[in-house]
Amino acid sequence: MTINRSWKTPLAIVVCGGIIMGLSLGVRHVMGLFLLPMTGDRGWSREDFALAMALQNLVWGLLMPFAGMIADKFGSAKVLLAGCVTYAAGLYLMAHSASSLGLLLTCGVMIGAALSATSFGTVYGALSRLVAPERRGWALGLAGAVGGLGQFAMVPAAQIFISDFGWLIALVILGGVLLAASPLSSALAERHDSLPAERKEQSMREALAEAFSHKGFWLLNLGFLACGFQLAFIAGHLPAYLMDKGMNGRHAVIALSLIALANIAGTYYSGVLGMKYRRKHLLAYNYLTRSVAIAAFVVLPLNEWTLYGFSLVMGLLWLGTAPLTNGLVSQVFGVKYLTTLFGFVFVGHQVGGFMGAWLGGVVFDVTGSYDLVWLGAIVLGLVAAALHFPIDDRQLSRLQAA
């Protein structure tokens, strides 16, 4: 029986991938809203919650290369489906965690594993192979924008669920949403007989050896650490930081919503600009601007104007690094093992995410302030900007010959 695949247009593929990615990252984006109510009810410290979030980031990063290997070998659709189911189960069990160990295993390990299968690497890797090369920047940018829209919608939705039903039921509802979205993974099923010729010319072992011997690959990895640190710290601790400063939950929800809203435009245009300008320069300017924005936010008096201005600027820069970094990896190394290679680059991002989420809780418990963590975010952004300029972004001679 012949299956009609006419509905799988490039736009449909991009939108389906973007929705899954948006829900996956959106739930992660609102975890900070659960910090105070969950720790208050369970009697945990902020460090307990921060450690679970930090472990989530670390597991996400460490497992992403392996999720990429499975996706490159067996197809992204299977990995996305398994990730959605695991995510839903992790949220349900997180809601019923009775100890800090249970929180580590569910919020940390299970959801971290699910994120490795449902976020940038798997979706962008599939799109890079399913969409024509000349439309790749558009596809990555649009998928990121759709994902950003999902994150934006998730912030008020999560707050409404928490207010109306309590944090426990809110987590269960979010798990149900991930489960309901799992059939969309079928749109990203790949036909291996139509993949580029480079697939037949290089083994995965050879691809890894080639990438690991390239200095630019490691500079990308190190630079991505700053991105992970900044995003994990802000998403996980900004609500508590604002409440410590005398603001309320409404301000935190609006701030996270503005970040997600601005991220829609920022991610889309990052992908599009990556087709016109050198991606390594765009990444460097992204990190430099982030550091300036964070410094201004910390130094200026905290009020609604400075908070919302900071949120909009950070949102424009939020996930724009992902399509640019992914595009740079495919530009240099090709798309054959893109999901695997981007997964290894993303390890740096998640090591930074672990540090940002965990140190936020540790530093606050020790000093009663987040000031040192904000300073670390500024310094790391400046270092990341400097690391991107010397990257050799020329296509490998092997691909030029092909």
Report d(CA 84, CA 20) in Å as an integer.
Answer: 8
Separation in Å, CA 45 to CA 39, 91, 213: 6, 20, 43
* pLDDT tens digits for range 208-245: 899 899 999 999 999 999 999 999 899 888 888 898 88
Q: How confident is the model at residue 3 (pLDDT cuts 50, 70, 90)?
A: very low
- pTM summary value: 0.78
CATH of domain 10-190+202-395: 1.20.1250.20
Q: Region 172-195: what's the mean pLDDT?
A: 84
Mark 292-311 as b/e (b = at least 16 C-beta within 10 Å).
Answer: ebbbebbeeebeeeebbbbb
Predicted pLDDT of residue 2: 44
Top mean-pLDDT range of 12-21, 79-88, 388-397: 79-88
Report d(CA 349, CA 347) in Å as an integer.
Answer: 5
- Long-range contacts from 182-186, C-beta under 8 angstroms, 24+ separation: 182/80, 182/81, 182/84, 182/85, 182/88, 184/16, 184/17, 184/19, 184/20, 185/16, 185/20, 185/76, 185/77, 185/78, 185/80, 185/81, 185/84, 186/77, 186/81
Of 336, 328, 309, the closest CA to residue 270 belongs to 328
Q: How confident is the model at residue 128 (pLDDT cuts 50, 70, 90)?
A: confident
Block residue for tokens 């970094």:
325
Block residue for tokens 């969309």:
184
Token digits of residue 397 = 């001679």
Token digits of residue 76 = 């992204």
Residue 292 has pLDDT above 70, yes or no: yes
Token digits of residue 266 = 């920022």
What is the full DSSP assignment across 137-174? HHHHHHHHHHHHHHHHHHHHHHHHHHHHH-HHHHHHHH
Contact 24, 119 (CB under 8 A): yes
Block residue for tokens 């979030």:
53
Residue 129 has pLDDT above 90, yes or no: no
Report d(CA 398, CA 44) in Å as an integer.
Answer: 54
Rounded (10°) angle between helices 167-181 and 10-29: 160
Q: How far is CA 311 from the centre of its chain?
A: 17
Separation in Å, CA 228 to CA 53, 184, 199: 12, 27, 31
Block residue for tokens 């200095």:
215
With a pLDDT cut of 70, the percent of the chain lying above it is 94
Report d(CA 343, CA 220) in Å as an integer.
Answer: 12
* pLDDT tens digits for range 65-98: 899 889 888 888 999 999 999 999 999 999 999 8
Report d(CA 321, CA 255) in Å as an integer.
Answer: 20
Predicted pLDDT of residue 82: 95
Q: How confident is the model at residue 401 (pLDDT cuts 50, 70, 90)?
A: low
Q: How confident is the model at residue 1 (pLDDT cuts 50, 70, 90)?
A: very low
Q: Provide the residue ranges of all domains of the chain, joining segments of one domain with +.
A: 10-190+202-395
